[in-house]
Structure 1
Amino acid sequence: MLTPKAWAVIAAAAIAWGSLLQTPAAADGGKVVCDIWGKCRVVASDTRESAGQPGRQGKPASSGGGSSKKPKCRDGLQSNVEVPCSLDGLGAWSNTHNCYFKAAVPQPPDGDPAREGHAADDGAVYNAYCPANPNMQSMWFAQPPNGVAAAVDPQVLALQAVKKMTLLGPDIGIVPKPGSKGVVGMPVWMWANDVPNAWGPVVASASAGAVTVTATARVSKVAWSMGDGSRVVCNGRGTAYRAAFGKKVSPDCGYRYDQPSASAPSGKYRVTATATWAIGWEGGGQTGQLTEVRANAVDIAVAEVQVLN
């Protein structure tokens, strides 16, 4: 039979061992209590250690006889021990798993081992802190574990916001106009009309829980495929043609054909304008950039000048 002095030595050793197991994160939101065998648990910071029952929660003094409506979280391995329902940086406690879980943001992509073989659109991965199982780093759940908020990836919300936008290809302005005829060697003017959903800015938001992401889209450049194999890139909208310009060349977005369109399959050149939309988004403590592409096309006829002798 061990003497009181021997028990004191064992207890002191166990407490020292427990202090080595305590992590700073756990200490921030509560404290780690160890029994004489070195079994340690995270408990509330005001937990009392009564003789023979380490970790038993003392009852707070009542001010008006009413009961507290604060949720109770308990260690499933020691049902008499209450633990903090949440810890800063570690998430919310799950009574079922005896762990703290926090949704991973951003979520791991398809093929990541943390997804445990599940696709990116199937459930979510949660970072785990388990006092009794320090090797557990994460866990996949089809549904959020009890008391834990669902994963909210701001980039996913940004994509949802973009889907709400009706982004169009450029509203094409061009001379020669469709239905008329241009002439080989004469200046061709191209521009994009200032139409909001065809040029921007276009703004939309998407929300999930307490997170809202707002995205703003603007056209950054327009690439013109001229129908004869040539391509012209214009960084602005281009200048709209006016009759007063006569035979002048466009200052910022123009072209000249050196062959008539009669050789084209339809007898006309199909001019395609492809807009690159630059989309900036912010929300959920993050920012990012997305890109979308939209196109529009018109057909123009270009003739060769006939010289009469």
Structure 2
Amino acid sequence: MPAAVRLSVCATVLAGATVLASGPTAWADIVPGGEGTGSETQVDGNKGDQSVSATAEAVVYNRSKNGSGTSVGPVAAAANWTPPACYYAPKYSPEQLQKVKEPVWDAESTGYEWDAAQRDRYVNGKPYKDFNKEKSGEGYWWDSYVTPGREGDPGALDCQEETFWVDTGDDPPADIPQAITPEVLAQLAYAEIRVPTTEVELRPTEATKVNLPTWAWLDATDFKPVSVTASVPLLQVEATTTATPVSVKIDPGTADAETYPASGVCEASNGRIGEPYANGKADETPPCGVKYLRSSGDGSYQLKATVTWKIHWTGTGVAGEQPLPDGEFGGEQDVVVQEIQAVNR
């Protein structure tokens, strides 16, 4: 990472730390993990408010441009990938770490050898001396956090490094992949992305007929890019992860059907996926749709539509858009298919 974007952990930044994402901040004026009292604000974006969540965790999320409403859900990475379940970020000043460690040692509940090794590490100069108090204001102690909602995930146990010091202006150690950087923030923001449940518009609406094309499309007002910004106010670093719908895959719910196009994948074009049906197009082939070859009888078929979202991120000191794995989110809906009734005269 260029020196210009090195993570600053100066304690003097703390009092004036602000959320770098747009909109009013709800960041509590506390040290993450310290003795202060954190706040958490969840504001409904539909009410036009700030939609910023601030917690005593190191990372703050701005969800004002995220998907909203009762039908939204998280995207699942199409690849075998998940955002980190834990990460490292600033947590203590020298004085705060002392307040955390010394009561544990005084209780003698962790055993003499452990306590002695800890005192050597943080007090006796092996490698730190007196909790690095001589560097107060020149850096911070970093420790692990578990990503909210991932507490029971096996990956939450991956962050087992001892609490470590990072000087102002220095990058965190390169051999700790979960240490907060713009890229890690982007991955954490990925987990916060919410997109609409996929229910396609169909024509005919009430019931379709055997061997007649059914048109399918997505409402352009619902299926538009969404984004979440993750930031660490103390470090003055942020990343924004954006998801854009690029295609929908139609699964008719039965083998007795044909899709348009034949692959069943309808690509986004001109800001929409598929094309709304209009009067006079009954004999045309829909650019996105399905033709059922057999009646659904007394029941219905479960049509499933899965949208693929192309995901990228931008962040502090990073040039251009950087890719993240595509995400998918789908939904099912009932489709009644009837035989065409012939009338004999």
The TM-score normalised by the length of structure 2 is 0.45
Larger RCO (alpha carbons 8 Å, 6+ apart): 2
Question: Higher Cα Rg: structure 1 or 2?
Answer: 1
